[in-house]
Amino acid sequence: MSLPRHIAIIMDGNGRWARSRGEPRSAGHKAGMAPVRTCIEECARRRIEALTLFAFSSENWKRPPAEVSALMTLFMDAIDAEVRALHDNGVRIRFVGDRLALPVRLQSRMLQAEALTANNGGLKLQLAVAYGGRWDIVNASQLVARLCSEGALTVAAITEDVFAAGLQLAGIPEPDLFIRTGGEHRISNFLLWELAYTELYFSELLWPDFDVRELERALARFAARERRYGLTAEQLAARVSG
């Protein structure tokens, strides 16, 4: 079965999962840690190169302060609890997003986790925290503009590759498979540049219920698709036979 090099996931439905059980939203976020571990383990086992998880968007700051505070604490606790095991299993951790907007203690935990795992050669794990696709594109645009103003880059030299080098996922292959749980069919300002040719899979399961079987369904759906990148089926066949 053809496997993606890179899977990107919006982990949606924690709050609804908790509400359906009469529990606070924070309980859903805690329950959502189990499928995070499952996805990391399965991607590593299948030798998938990269996994990017959307943990907290730039729009999530609008949520109730108590929930945001609980999420920040959960992130710190999760890093403390999981980073050593991830490191021992060769996972390289990288955080993407506007980390300066985050609590200083969390920023410190992120830097420590990245430094510890920087030389690992296994699964490349990206955790998007305080991330927004539009923010990412604007940030890369500012970098390109600054290089031009300093004379290090000319306008004529700006290409897609040059621009992409300023994005948060620079150096990581673009996602082949995007998964969103929770029944919503949208990408919600996630990796707007990188998802241009990504295969999309929308699951009705709420994130805490996401399991190996549902991941396998997504992988099977991906393997059954013909990725043409704007070409015709005949052109693809000719390229393969050539």
Instruction: Determine the pLDDT at residue 134.
Output: 97
Structural domains in the chain (count): 1
Return mean pLDDT, the chain. 94
Whether 10 contacts 54, CB under 8 Å: yes
CATH (domain of 125): 3.40.1180.10
Of residues 12, 14, 136, 176, which has the active-site annotation?
A: 12
Residue 125, in any domain of the structure: yes
60 is catalytic: yes
Residue 89 a catalytic site member: no
The DSSP secondary structure of 199-241, one letter per residue, reads: EEEE-SS-GGG--HHHHHHHHHHHHHS---TT--HHHHHHHHH
Q: Do the domain assignments include residue 202?
A: yes
Question: Quick check: is 52 in a domain?
Answer: yes
Strand order in the sheet with 6-10: 92-96, 124-131, 50-57, 6-10, 177-180, 199-202
Rounded CA separation 139/99 (Å): 13
Dist CA 32 CA 60 (whole Å): 16
Whether 154 maps to a domain, the answer reads no
Between these two residues, 63 and 207, which has the higher pLDDT value? 207
3-state secondary structure at position 126: strand
Token duo for residue 185: 């069919």
Beta-sheet strands, E only, within 77-236: 92-96, 124-131, 177-180, 199-202
pLDDT band, very low/low/confident/very high, at 137 (cuts 50, 70, 90): very high
Answer yes or no: is 57 within a domain: yes
Give the residue with greater pLDDT, 240 vs 120. Answer: 120
If you average pLDDT over residues 50-62, what whole number do you get? Answer: 94
**Set 14, 60, 161, 209: catalytic member:** 60
Q: Give per-residue pLDDT as tens, 197-211.
A: 999 999 999 999 999
Whole-number Å distance between alpha carbons of 141 and 60: 23
pLDDT mean over 31-53: 97
pLDDT range class, residue 226, cuts 50, 70, 90 = confident
Cα–Cα distances in angstroms (integers) from residue 37 to residues 62, 77, 88, 94, in the given order: 27, 14, 14, 16
Residue 1 has a pLDDT of: 74
Residue 86 is assigned to a structural domain of this protein: yes
Is the pLDDT at 230 greater than 80? The verdict is no
Question: Is 151 within a domain?
Answer: no
Structural domain harbouring 36: 6-132+173-241
Nearest to 197 by CA among 53, 5, 58: 5
State the sign of the Cα–Cα–Cα–Cα dihedral 127, 131, 134, 139. negative
Q: pLDDT tens across 65-118, in order?
A: 989 998 999 999 999 999 999 999 999 999 999 999 999 999 999 999 999 999
